Structures are given as C-alpha cells and as structure tokens.
Amino acid sequence: MRGFGVHTSMWTMSWDRHGCELAVQKARDYGMDFLEIALLDPPAVDAAHSRQVLEAAEMRAVCSLGLPEECWASRQPDKAIEFLTVALDKTAAMGCEALSGVVYGGIGERSGQPPSETELDNVARALEAAARHAKSLGLLFGIEPVNRYETHLINTGWQGVAMIERIGADNMFVHLDTYHMHIEEKGIAQGVLDAREHLRYIHLSESDRGTPGAGNIAWDEVFAALRAIGFDGGLAMESFINMPPEIAHGLSVWRPVASGEAEVMENGLPFLRNKARQYGLIG
C-alpha cells in the first residue's frame, strides 16, 4: 500500500468483468501505482478473472467496502464476521494487499445517539475476528473513520486509533479521508497527527467529493502533516463520478460533483501529484 492510487468510483461501482477490465486499463493509462476496488458485493466477484487482469497490467490493488444493513456490526456482529470473511477471502483471491473502509458498519448508519458500549463491544468483536482472519491470509485490515452524517460510530482519527488499540491486532491500520477530516477534525491536520502510529492509507478527496483543488480542503496542511509524520503509505484519490442510487443515498450526494472523468483526472490528479511531490511524498 504505497504510492499513488485511485478509487474505482472514477469509472465504475460494479466490480464485474467489464468494470474490472475498464478500471484496470484506465488506471494503467493514467500511470497509477494501485487501484482501490469498491467491493460492494463480494460473493459476486470473479476473483480469478480479477487477479488475471490485475497481474497482466502489473497493477497492485486494495479493496474497500461498507457493510450492508443486515450485517451492521453494531447490531449483528456474527453476520458482520460472515460478510467480512467472504470479503477478505475474495480480497486475497484477487491478489490484493488489504481490505479497508467502513468495515465496522454501514454508510448511513446512525442511531440518533452516541455509540453505546454494547455497540462498540459488538464492533470490536467483529473486527477482532475479521483482523485475525485477514492475518491468516496475509492481508492488512483497515478502519476508515467517516463523518457524523454517515455513521455515529467512528468519526475521527483518534476514534479509529482507540478501536485498533482496543483490539490489539498488528495487521490493522487507520485509513483517513480528507473529506471526512474536513468535517470532523479540529484542524484538518489533527487527524493525521492523532493517527500517526497507525496511519497507512489516506483518501485524497475534495470537500464536495469532486475535483481535488477546486474546493475547500486545506491541501498544504494535509500534505505538510503527512510529511511531518514520515507517511509512506497509500495515497488514493477518491472522487465520486459513477455511483448507483443506493450509494448516492448513503453518501448524500444529490448533484453532479464534477463534469466527468476528464475534469477530475486531467485537473485533480495532476494537482494532487504535484502537492505530493512538493512535500516529498512521491518521487
């Protein structure tokens, strides 16, 4: 999980044969180091085909997801374990390096109250079992804190750290996202500083989830903080261009956030690469 990558939402949210071939080719064309695969329906994935396409393109990959409502760990830890086990098996079978994202719950999961001890106990039990299974497969396993409108469970870098340290699994890591940090942290650099011992992956996402550099994210603060902690993990551009209705609903995206792929990849990608190069995070 090193270098510069891109989330498959740039081209597809359906990881079928067509989506796989399209995203891998596009990522290769743009010179990406890795691809982040949205693993929304793990049982349906043709892992052998994905591995073949990824290996042929010499494209490294990680996977990410959110849990479906029937498997929310806070309520149904055993079902969450079952779902994550299948997802981890698929991740390994595709030859990917890690599974991350909202692995502790659903995108749009809110109780209307702060997380209860019972909910956090359930989440910890599910994540501990999943991390153990991930380690048996040689995989890293990440937690992505997301904003208060998408979950009530883990919103900040320090909350992600607290869950990882509670579980104590050495293959777990914090996965930050600048969009969520912009909303939740006390200064956007704070999440990076709080998570520094466990931070191995970050989503570079604009304040409106559109074209990086065209919104309100304090990019110099983000990259300066990453440099200050000696970050050498994965830098993944995430802009939502292609989303099915159920994902758009969970993310509360009701209008186009960019005109299309060309705007994001031809303007946003060079902007982020230049910032990462300026701060010595890539060569």
Q: Which positions are catalytic?
A: 144, 238
Q: Name the amino acid, one letter, at 50.
A: S
41's CB contacts (< 8 A; 6+ apart) are 15
207 close to 215: Cβ distance less than 8 angstroms: yes
Q: Rounded to whole angstroms, what are the CA distances from 271 to 162, 163, 205?
A: 33, 33, 12
Q: Rounded to whole angstroms, what are the CA distances from 46 to 41, 53, 93?
A: 11, 11, 9
82's CB contacts (< 8 A; 6+ apart) are 71
- Angstrom distance (rounded) from CA 241 to CA 253: 10
- The number of angstroms, rounded, from the C-alpha of 20 to the middle of its chain's C-alpha atoms is 18
Looking only at Cα atoms, what is the longest distance across the chain?
A: 48
Q: Name the amino acid, one letter, at 2.
A: R
- Residue 208: strand, helix, or coil: coil
153 close to 186: Cβ distance less than 8 angstroms: no
The neighbouring-strand residues paired with 38 are 64
The neighbouring-strand residues paired with 201 are 175, 234
97: which DSSP letter?
S
- Angstrom distance (rounded) from CA 130 to CA 5: 25
